[in-house]
Amino acid sequence: MSLSLADLAELRQRLTSGFGPIESEVLAEKASSLGYHGRQVEKAMAALQAFDAAPGSADERLILVKAAARDVWKFFVQREACGMRDQRDAIRHYGIPQEVLVRLGAIEK
């Protein structure tokens, strides 16, 4: 089987770029998931801020804090899957409060 110049050029490009079609698809899925989870964190932080602007019961707020912690945890897991290990910038960017951060990974029955 002989390879054309175009085939050789394409093969060289794939070998030197480090990304074949499967790797590109995986990266696209990671980026999509990261964006989705980032939007969920934005919504959770907005819900907490809206609640604090017109406070209700402590139980209602606790529900929002727990939901925010779940969303932030999922977002952090996705960031780590993408190779982003330092969460400090994300915490600042999204304005994630300490009361949410202390609940990360906590599972209640």
Pinpoint the alpha helices (H) of the chain.
5-17, 21-53, 58-81, 88-94, 98-101
Whether the predicted pLDDT of 9 surpasses 80: no
Mind listing the pLDDT tens digit for each residue in 21-63? 777 788 788 888 988 999 999 999 999 999 999 988 999 999 9
Cα gap 40→32, rounded to integer Å = 13
**Is the torsion defined by CA of 67, 69, 72, 77 positive or negative?**
negative
